[in-house]
């Protein structure tokens, strides 16, 4: 599953009407193992980082600053 999630659920609707908005929700089983800890870290990094990527690519300064501040390596950003 995505980034090591235990499962990914796909939803639609989201208050705007059935079929007008698609969403994905990731679930991670947290059982105290080292593997689970790595999966948790990866999922909880990749999910918000994807939003930062999209907004930085669209040119939003706040997202570009966020990417740089948190070490998110984005090839579209120079310097």
Domain boundaries, the chain: 2-69
Model-level pTM?
A: 0.69
Between CA 76 and CA 63 the distance in angstroms is 13
Name the residue with higher pLDDT: 36 or 23. 36
pLDDT grade for 22, boundaries at 50, 70 and 90: confident
The confidence band for 56, taking pLDDT boundaries of 50, 70 and 90, is very high
Burial status of residue 59 (CB atoms within 10 A of its CB: 0-12, 13-18, 19 or more)? exposed
Report d(CA 74, CA 53) in Å as an integer: 7
- Cα–Cα distance measured from residue 60 to residue 23, given in angstroms and rounded to the nearest whole number: 22
pLDDT value of residue 78: 76
Q: What is the mean pLDDT of residues 9-21?
A: 73
* Residue of 56 and 79 predicted with greater confidence: 56
């Amino acid at each position: 599953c995505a980034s090591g999630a235990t499962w990914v659920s796909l939803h639609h609707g989201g208050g705007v009407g059935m079929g007008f908005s698609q969403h994905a929700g990731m679930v991670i089983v947290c059982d105290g193992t080292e593997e689970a800890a790595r999966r948790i870290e990866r999922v909880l990094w990749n999910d918000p980082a994807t939003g930062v990527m999209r907004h930085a690519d669209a040119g939003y300064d706040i997202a570009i600053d966020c990417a740089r501040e948190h070490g998110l390596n984005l090839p579209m950003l120079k310097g």
